[in-house]
Structure 1
């Protein structure tokens, strides 16, 4: 699909494109002077300075981080692929480097080009550090995670996960036709949840555009890149609006904030709606600053040749409302935008549909019916017991039947939805992805039955870190923990044979796993989604179990739902079967979801 050309965002990103890396625009790369003999203190011959002049040499070290190569170099920063020798993992190392204001000498020290640039350089540096601090506070699969940051060599660095994927901009260009609504809704489900997390702390992204959204290779999970805060500060101080703003995506209040047009959640709503508009029509909305004089915006509702038979009236109306040029006439919050889209806790796309469209892989040969594929198993493997016990658990994880081959596409929710929308009838059996079903159940929890579940760490090193999380509830009940693996598998982790007493008191905090069943991160890397149910009375998942792990007693459950049980796509079976010992078991429950990421 052809899309209009957007101003390139020269702020470097933390991704490695799946395809060949596109060249960086010339204006983003400072000129490199050919010189004579190396100056004293120049890097040794074994440390090759990378193309671009300002990049750190390959093999150089910043603390425990060794530079492997450049991932991206733009006008305001450089991102390196680096090796963390302390934790033995590969990371993305981002350095503040505004090429127009500063340069690197023969050593690793960064200095301003001229003293007249110092105030601007320092303001950008401060903003870079503040952005790192901000991102480090948040934890959502669709937000960039910052592991650590520091100042050194006259500049600053931040360390982030190394993620592979393509930008949404690249993906849309490669599509032969506009994406289907289900694909867009899957992406929006994750992005709007991530923005809800930000907005809940009165933080706003203010730089949402297709080239600032990455679709993670394999899963298709959308990831919002860093906010470009240093770029905005520098652009503001130099009155370079073309540096700060992206026409078509930036709402009018970003051009000149006046008392009647403050920035807020509605600012991100506009930009995200503009992304959807571009995906549907192949062009950006008219620049908002021009719309104030003469509004040439053509609502989607008036573009029947584009939308008819492909996009619902609900989606069309939601986008048109969110793109109102005046802030007070626009959708006011991300929660309101989600409600307009029908994303209040119930939307669930088919597993893998985003990943399939993004990667467009060749069709695999059908698996013979007589050959049953073997699953890679979920992330967690209980360790710390005798070797025989660990071996039997490992064997169970490695040999249990596989779930459907399509990967789950939706990212986990960090913010529970407010209320469920009416369920729509399915014309055919559709297996909703498990994270979406989890969120749907959280949204339908009983009034006054609040549950909080939180992981101690959300990024865990494979073969190093153990899972630890806490559960608390406003009412007493019985705790059940389900794990959805990256391959679509589903396991009941708790209660189990090592921990059968799953009662929790009102206001009590339960810390899991217990000492008798530790869980350590293991291959494959990727996201794991946890559903924590607290039921007023005991329930059981045993009737639907297809297998029981012999050491800990974890139950394997049918990810597609019980055969011949509930209606296709229904998720109520994930609440278990009443098992209270009398016919009138209380149906009240509370629930929460959380996710962790296993990294090498």
Structure 2
């Protein structure tokens, strides 16, 4: 795994640079850099021929929101770039006609297109992992080597799955997908153009840090959008100032979900995941054992982006903080410039250890003072003042702020709790045109800058405690799994493999299959820790509401589940709702074990999700049960364990 500097990202806009970065080696996987490098010139013209192809019916499972940087209309091109695998200008994909190439990265190509059906400009992204596939003929995408087909198809499923997911949402802070489909051996998604500038570029134009009101105006819709995303068991995992677009009126939009990149990176060691040092929490580094990603991962990255806005630098790299934490809390460095509650919330969201961090976006919203009423409007949960909050008409409030222009809030009012609506500061002036499709933007003009935080003498204010973290049963279940892994007997090695770590929840659901091998002979036990925090015991399974007899695995022998368990009545475990990341936990015990805590059904044993206050040790003890040994003889309680991530989508 590699890291990049804070200024290095997958979408790099350099006014004097060549239009497109060179593609990674097309022969073998190794393109760990999927950045789209775009010069502020004209949209690239591609090859001269212009074949036409109609899209297949939209069949797909769904996922990436991509953003694209488009050049300014009046810029002079430096000549057409090498567009590699890009489709030529004039190609028809159904009603969409390619009019230019916006950018080509390691995992996809972004085009400017004209929608002949609705008469509008759109951005089209084509799934094209350059290290795995190449153009064959006019439009077809073909895998370079059959040994890469599984990885290619897994990335495409994730690409389409993200598109489907985003197409279902209509949140103002999330990219909208108009349409997606599979055709020509690959997949496409169509998105609108948006007006705006990146959060990072807006900050670069300021002589100092922005004020608290403006930052809260961004955090309100961003935390709301991420909460919606997390409810679907999806995580952004790449939040940074250059992945947030500010639309007209400074309304934020999340960019670059990059799911196909991450899935391919997970399936092959050759395609490493690029992390942004300072924004990536410690659990995103593969070399840190026992830490998994979840809502708390996005909490850290979002808070790091706000830290960058205030301090003009990123927090210290999280891996370094694990060794020696040099992080100075904002409550110390910025006391008096921002409210105590605001600073305490950001500091709590930047805790380096996941179990000490604000766990999810709802808890972060509560810490910041946001509340979600039934009608969807966002109000401030004031700790002081009247319980009833009168909301001004949004149109009048917005107009008043535009007329007044950016304001500098006096420090004495900034450190006090707000009891008014958190409306973004609307800045009336021109805007930037951005096509949101995979990593960049069309830059036209830069809007006025937000108000600056005043640097005044600190004003004493009683710090307010951050609300208690919300109990997360999924995190509690992960802690149980980690407890069992850490409690395994040293030297009792267990190896678990699967050829299909991603299971689709279609009409029947893909079947889980895995192989297991251990250095010592032992009884085999396996559980699936579900995304909702519950546990399903799949080995040994059940028959008519009673557990089957365990199987003894000889030392060094490889057994496949469920094939080698069919004679023992092993049922098939299939992907089912709720989707998300599950954990396959396999234990090989030197002695057979009696497990009494599970509720046995027709096929499997089940254990409900941990409840608030339950200790991981007690739940782990239930899952492991007790060794069954002959009376009066020594009892070998040793065991080995291994865990594997399984995505149910």
TM-score, normalised to structure 1's length? Answer: 0.52
- CA displacement 1:504-558 (0-9 Å, x = unmatched): xxxxxxxxxxxxxxxxxxxxx9xxxxxxxxxxxxxxxxxxxxxxxxxxxxxxxxx
Distance 2:91 2:178 in 1: 20
Q: 1:49 to 1:116 in 2, by over 3 A?
A: farther
Tell me how far 1:164 sits from its aligned partner.
Answer: 3.0
Tell me how far 1:116 sits from its aligned partner.
Answer: 3.6
Structure 1 position 104 matched with structure 2 position 135? yes
Distance 1:69 1:194 in 2: 31
SS in 1 for 2:358: coil
Residue 321 of structure 1: aligned partner = 348
Which residues in structure 2 correspond to 1:123-522 (within 5 Å)? 123-216=154-247, 218-239=248-269, 243-256=273-286, 261-303=291-333, 307-344=334-371, 415-417=376-378, 420-422=381-383, 433-434=394-395
Residue 501 of structure 2: aligned partner = none
- CA displacement 1:338-377 (0-9 Å, x = unmatched): 121122369xxxxxxxxxxxxxxxxxxxxxxxxxxxxxxx
Residue 414 of structure 2: aligned partner = none
Q: 1:186 to 1:293 in 2, by over 3 A?
A: same
SS in 2 for 1:26: coil
Tell me how far 1:309 sits from its aligned partner.
Answer: 4.0
Q: 1:171 to 1:106 in 2, by over 3 A?
A: farther
- CA displacement 1:202-241 (0-9 Å, x = unmatched): 332222111211112x322110014100111122223368
Distance 1:488 1:210 in 2: 19
Tell me how far 1:433 sits from its aligned partner.
Answer: 4.4
Distance 2:22 2:352 in 1: 32
91, 95, 105: which is aligned to 2:122? 91
Distance 1:431 1:416 in 2: 12
Answer whether contact 1:31 1:52 (CA < 8 A) is retained. no
Tell me how far 1:144 sits from its aligned partner.
Answer: 0.6
Structure 2 residues without counterparts, runs of 5 or longer:
28-46, 53-78, 399-422, 434-649
Tell me how far 1:258 sits from its aligned partner.
Answer: 8.5
Structure 1 residues without counterparts, runs of 5 or longer:
33-41, 347-412, 438-483, 490-524, 526-600
Answer whether contact 2:126 2:188 (CA < 8 A) is retained. yes
Q: 1:24 to 1:124 in 2, by over 3 A?
A: farther
Answer whether contact 1:434 1:488 (CA < 8 A) is retained. no
Tell me how far 1:242 sits from its aligned partner.
Answer: 5.5
Q: 1:105 to 1:173 in 2, by over 3 A?
A: farther
Distance 1:137 1:272 in 2: 23
Residue 51 of structure 1: aligned partner = 82
Structure 1 position 26 matched with structure 2 position 21? yes
Tell me how far 1:285 sits from its aligned partner.
Answer: 1.6
Distance 2:137 2:360 in 1: 49
Distance 2:190 2:50 in 1: 27
SS in 2 for 1:67: strand
SS in 2 for 1:245: strand
Tell me how far 1:318 sits from its aligned partner.
Answer: 0.9
Distance 2:119 2:237 in 1: 35
Distance 2:253 2:330 in 1: 26
**238-247 or 143-152, larger mean C-alpha shift:** 238-247
Answer whether contact 1:10 1:75 (CA < 8 A) is retained. no
Distance 2:238 2:344 in 1: 23
Tell me how far 1:321 sits from its aligned partner.
Answer: 0.5
SS in 1 for 2:100: strand
Tell me how far 1:133 sits from its aligned partner.
Answer: 1.3
- CA displacement 1:385-416 (0-9 Å, x = unmatched): xxxxxxxxxxxxxxxxxxxxxxxxxxxx9945
Distance 2:395 2:243 in 1: 27
Structure 1 position 61 matched with structure 2 position 92? yes
**309-318 or 185-194, larger mean C-alpha shift:** 309-318
- CA displacement 1:290-314 (0-9 Å, x = unmatched): 32222222222232xxx24432222
Residue 10 of structure 2: aligned partner = 10
Tell me how far 1:46 sits from its aligned partner.
Answer: 10
Q: How many residues align?
A: 353
Kindly indicate whether structure 1 or structure 2 has the higher relative contact order, using CA contacts under 8 Å at least 6 residues apart.
2
Distance 2:397 2:366 in 1: 16
Residue 481 of structure 2: aligned partner = none
- CA displacement 1:421-448 (0-9 Å, x = unmatched): 24779xxxx98844989xxxxxxxxxxx
Cα RMSD, aligned residues only: 4.0
Answer whether contact 2:51 2:91 (CA < 8 A) is retained. no
Q: 1:267 to 1:259 in 2, by over 3 A?
A: same
Answer whether contact 1:275 1:284 (CA < 8 A) is retained. yes
Q: 1:312 to 1:87 in 2, by over 3 A?
A: same
TM-score, normalised to structure 2's length? Answer: 0.48
Tell me how far 1:192 sits from its aligned partner.
Answer: 0.9
Answer whether contact 1:301 1:316 (CA < 8 A) is retained. yes
Distance 2:160 2:21 in 1: 27
